[in-house]
Amino acid sequence: MSFPLSRRSLFTAAGAGLTLGLLPGGLMAVAAPGQGATVHNWLHVGPDGTITLFSNAQEMGQGGFSGVAQLLANELCVPWDRVAVKTAPLIDAMGMAGGRSHWTGGSSSIRSQWDKLRYAGAAAREMLVTAGARMLGVSVAECRAVNGHIEHRSDGRRVAYGAVADMASRLPVPANPVPLARTDWSLVGQPLLRKDIAEKVDGSAIYATDVRLPGLLSATVMQCPVFGGRLVSVDPSPAMSVPGVRRVVPVMSVSIPIPGSEQPLIVNDAVAVIADHWWAARQGLMALSPVWDFQGKDGLDTDGMIAAIQARLNDVGSIRKAAQEDEGVIRTRHATAMAGAARTVRCDYHVPALAHAQMEPMSAVADLSAGKAVAWTGSQFATSVRHILCGLTGLAEDKVTVHTLPSGGGFGRRYLNDYVAYACFLSKQAGAPVKLIYSREEDLAQGRYRPATACRLTAGLDQNGLPVAIHTHTAPASGQVWIAIAPPGTEAQPDHQPSYYLPAPLATMAEAGLPIPNGPWRAPGSTQGAFFFECFVDEMAQAAGQDPVTYRRRLLASNPRALRVLEAAVTASDWGRDLPPGTGRGIAIWNSFQSIAAQVVQVQVAQNRVRVEKVWCAFDCGTIVNPDSVRAQGEGSILMALSASLAEKVLLESGAVSSRNFDQYTLLRMEQMPVIEVILVESPDAPVGGAGEPMTPPLPPALANAIFAATGRRLRSLPLSDHGLTVA
């Protein structure tokens, strides 16, 4: 890889140190200081040799900050204890993956910046080595970078990075910096302690709820309980009688365009209470009796939602295809292959709507007083926060400030900034900084849910039980959920889809169009699609009279990388050994975010009580930066998926969410969790994949397949508690 860099395109002196610009698309030229340009997203080498990386990835527990820092430190050949990482300012040129937007999602913190950071680190290292060689009075070839120093290979003389950083900033930029060979890596692949752990342990980490400002007020909000309803009126007097309450604010719905986003941000009709402290605001809000107009949308309940998506399984639906493909050709090819099948297998499935249920409720601080426009929040989409501030104040983008903070879990919910919009609006109304916190009830009742989805899968099998054609038809309550299958001959690995290359695939979808807000939920689409398809693979295996592993081996014959992951899970779990009565194992595999995960689940079922004993997860994300962080992500993904599979379900009653707290939206408890073993499989030549989400999708189908193995019952819907099963 080469970069067209000029004299001042990469480095610039910043005090007594070296500052390196990391711009979209790799290393891009920037003008020298004083010429109107700014060096963005930079790393700084201080005079003491400390390396500071400013990262555009929001930290929500996934370890993204440490991952990018570990990658950079590896290229710079510096000790891990010399590296610090901080949040980058919100500047367009620092957007993720070469774009303008600052967002964190799609398991992208490492994989989207892999090349950018490696080549930037290599360029910095080469500049520092050149400067060090000059200071030592030797040639560059005689020197190497070692532990934050430039060392003479022969006599061992050393000079620290900090001592030559300013000199390095004045040197010509390498035209083609060379990243370290894998054999020279010292930090990548090591289970280093994450940089954010200490402050979380000692309580010094600052979340939105921790922000303190002079004159700060607190607020909470009650949105119309029925999605799409309107506020008619509210009598503020009951709230105003609560000590500490300052004002009651009606909020009318608004649609805020977000450049770069497919959909605008929808802010619902609501009533908010502003007070001296949050409990007063909460008590004041609970004293109110708003009058709502439900707009005729209060007739939907849980059963009606499921019936609506199941009804769409009979629709023709729209087809998923590449732009150059002809729909008629795809349908004809599929129909012809189905007509020649020896037998047909067809199954219907459905899954419920899910809330994110992150431990930190939605919260934000905004200050739109006295001409200011500042927000503090743990948003996954900081650029959207900036657009909200600009829209409410009329100020230009460079006149507003967004402080991106860590958050207590995101899972996709914090990508949608309705809560930030309320905080900004209320601050403007109050003429003072306002901290808004959703109650737990509001958080669960006003989510942006994973959509309830139904699916019909139809396969034509040949005489050997292998598919000759397959049709996936999905019906989400709202939004889009597809199961697209890669046909034989596809060069790329499947992504966000089954791991197999299967002939004559047809993917269709018919959205039910229900008025239930949807949003990304850890591995969007894949958590539904994997359950449907991998349960169906077991049903095809049963129709073929084959063991589920043997059948998958045959389907994966043309995908050796995925087959290797499957075999790792099979070997680790000792698949095929004798099990006690009532004990069963299930398996599933799925590709997402350029990674592959295969899981084996072992359950014990007695008197309709299910005990999940152990989960084996084999995982391949290409190159692993920090194995400890990857294992942690796997454990978290598996536990989240397990809880969702066994018990979680958004309940609707009269158009409103009735599962408004954890007594109704049931999460698994610690004593109900299984032993988890994550087996890491590396594919050094594969693209770097994500780790925060790909280990979520295989768990639900592997669990359902295990229950079938233990009981002989096929469970084609979630959660399993709907089938009379309880968790032991």
Summarised one tens digit per residue, pLDDT across range 649-674 is: 999 999 999 999 999 999 999 999 99
**pLDDT interval class at 632 (50, 70, 90):** very high
In the three-class reduction of DSSP (H, G, I as helix; E, B as strand; rest coil), residue 501 is classed as strand
SS3 per-residue string spanning 308-350? HHHHHHHCCCEECCCCCCCHHHHHHHHHHHHHCCCEEEEEEEE
Summarised one tens digit per residue, pLDDT across range 599-618 is: 999 999 999 999 999 999 99
Least confident span in 192-206, 416-430, 528-542: 192-206
Indicate whether 299 pLDDT > 90: yes
Q: Does this chain's domain 11-183 share its CATH topology with 209-295+362-437? A: yes
Indicate whether 32 pLDDT > 50: no
Indicate whether 16 pLDDT > 70: no
Query: Which range, 55-59, 120-124, 557-561, is most confident?
Result: 557-561
Angle between helices 627-646 and 526-544 (to 10 degrees): 80
- What is the average per-residue pLDDT within 718-722? 97
Can you say whether residue 251 is alpha, beta or left, with left for phi > 0 and alpha for psi between -120 and 50 degrees?
beta
- What is the average per-residue pLDDT within 538-553? 99
Summarised one tens digit per residue, pLDDT across range 43-71 is: 788 777 788 877 878 899 888 878 888 99
In the three-class reduction of DSSP (H, G, I as helix; E, B as strand; rest coil), residue 686 is classed as coil
Residue 18's pLDDT is 62
Residue 141's pLDDT is 97
- 393 Cα distance to chain centroid: 31
Residue 42's pLDDT is 58
Indicate whether 132 pLDDT > 70: yes
**pLDDT interval class at 20 (50, 70, 90):** low
Summarised one tens digit per residue, pLDDT across range 466-478 is: 999 999 999 999 9
CATH of 315-353+450-727, one of 3.30.365.10, 2.40.50.140, 3.60.150.10, 1.10.3720.10: 3.30.365.10
Q: What does the CA dihedral 103, 121, 24, 628 come to, rounded to 10 degrees?
A: -20
Least confident span in 233-237, 324-328, 343-347: 324-328
Mean pLDDT of the chain: 92
CB 549: neighbour CB atoms within 10 A? 19
Q: How far apart are CA 80 and CA 53, in angstroms?
A: 12
- What is the average per-residue pLDDT within 358-365? 97
Total H helices, total E strands in the chain: 16, 31
- 488 Cα distance to chain centroid: 29
Q: How far apart are CA 164 and CA 128, in angstroms?
A: 7
- The DSSP 8-state label assigned to residue 503 in this structure reads S
CA distances from 696 to 64, 398, 566 (A): 18, 39, 16
Percentage above 90 pLDDT, the chain: 80
CATH number for the domain running over 11-183: 3.30.365.10
For the chain, the residue count is: 728
Angle between helices 627-646 and 699-711 (to 10 degrees): 60
Q: How far apart are CA 419 and CA 31, in angstroms?
A: 39
**DSSP H helices in 44-92:** 64-76
CA distances from 122 to 118, 183, 539, 580 (A): 6, 15, 51, 56
CATH number for the domain running over 209-295+362-437: 3.30.365.10
Residue 14's pLDDT is 40
Summarised one tens digit per residue, pLDDT across range 229-261 is: 999 999 999 999 999 999 999 999 988 888 777
pTM of the model: 0.93
Summarised one tens digit per residue, pLDDT across range 563-592 is: 999 999 999 999 999 999 999 999 999 999
Long-range contacts of 236-240 (CB under 8 A, 24+ apart): 236/288, 238/284, 238/287, 238/288, 238/289, 239/273, 239/284, 239/285, 239/287, 239/288, 240/284
Residue 365's pLDDT is 99
Residue 191's pLDDT is 97
Q: How far apart are CA 241 and CA 428, in angstroms?
A: 23
Least confident span in 82-91, 566-575, 674-683: 82-91
List of E strands, 543-674: 583-592, 595-606, 609-620, 652-653, 656-657
**pLDDT interval class at 718 (50, 70, 90):** very high
Residue 125's pLDDT is 92
Domain boundaries along the sequence of the chain: 11-183, 209-295+362-437, 315-353+450-727
- What is the average per-residue pLDDT within 21-45? 39
CA angle centred on 531, ends 725 and 415, rounded to 5°: 105
**pLDDT interval class at 40 (50, 70, 90):** very low
Residue 90's pLDDT is 85
Residue 511's pLDDT is 98
Percentage above 70 pLDDT, the chain: 93
**pLDDT interval class at 266 (50, 70, 90):** confident
List residues bridging with 404 in a β-sheet: 377
